[in-house]
Each structure stands twice: as structure tokens, then as C-alpha cells.
Amino acid sequence: MGKIRVPIFSEVQIQELENGYRHGKSHALRQRCHIVLLKQQGYSSKHITSLKGYPKHQTTINNWVTRYEKFGIIGLKNKHGQGRKCILNPAIHRQKVEEIVKSERQRLDYAKSLIEKELDVKMNKKTLTRFLKSLSVVTEE
């Protein structure tokens, strides 16, 4: 069995990690802060991978610790541009979608098919519903 890597952090860094773990915006950030805190407390990467919902590779655990050591809490956040890109962009598609939905208010499935033809996109009905809800939140503010 190899030696367990136990990083040493200052009180300020530990406080920063605990704050990220408890109040971080994204689930991924909270989880990564927790991983680094567990490593600092002396837990092995193998033990952390055995926890439900955590990465299954020890290399991933050690990579998060290294990123925190190099970049701080910023290194634990997702980089910009990761994840699935939006099908409908409010800045670009808002007006067209609103026009179509207003004309076909009672038939959302038909409105969805018109939007798909007009904008040359494929989407689920739930995607359209979420997009419309996000528009209503923007207009209420």
C-alpha cells in the first residue's frame, strides 16, 4: 500500500474549502471542496472513491487536490464552456419563440414543431417549457 498524500493547508484555506463545501453554487464545486477537505484530514484516495456519488478513480481525486494547490478555489470550479450548449439562446431566439408560442398558445406540441422548422433545431417539449419559464423569470425582474 502506498503512502497517503496529506496536503497541508492554512486556516484560511481550510475555511475557504469549508465555505465552498457548504455554500458553493454548483454541486460539483461542493463535492470537490469536500474531496480536498477529506484528503487534508488524512483519508486515502481509495477510501474517498468508495463513497457513494464520488469519482471512482483515485487519479481524479489526486487531480482535484493538485488543482487546488496550484490555483486555489478557482481550480475546483468548472471551466467556462464545459457542458451541453444551449439549444435556444434567449438573446437570439427570444422574439421568434414568443411569436410562435403566442400564435399557438393552446398547442405547445405544434408550436414546438414550428419552432424546430423555423430555427432548424431539434428539441424536446420539456426544453421548450424550460426556455419559456426562463423567459418569464427574466420578464418578471
pLDDT digits (tens, 9 = 90+) for 80-109: 888 788 899 888 999 999 999 999 888 999
The whole-number pLDDT of residue 21 equals 96
Residue 81, domain member (yes or no): no
pLDDT for residue 24 is more than 90: yes
63 lies in some domain: yes
- Range(s) of the domain holding residue 113: 90-140
Residue 47 has pLDDT above 80, yes or no: yes
Any domain includes 136: yes
Residue 120 lies in a domain: yes
3-state secondary structure the chain: CCCCCCCCCCHHHHHHHHHHHHHCCCHHHHHHHHHHHHHHCCCCHHHHHHCCCCCCCHHHHHHHHHHHHHHHHHHHCCCCCCCCCCCCCHHHHHHHHHHHHHHCCCCHHHHHHHHHHHHCCCCCHHHHHHHHHHHHHHHHC
* Same-domain pairing of 19 and 71: yes
Whether 99 and 135 map to the same domain: the answer is yes
When the pLDDT of each residue in the chain is averaged and rounded to a whole number, the result is: 90
The total number of structural domains that make up the chain: 2
4 inside domain: no
Does residue 82 fall inside a structural domain?
Answer: no
Is residue 123 in a domain? yes
Confirm whether 36 is domain-assigned. yes
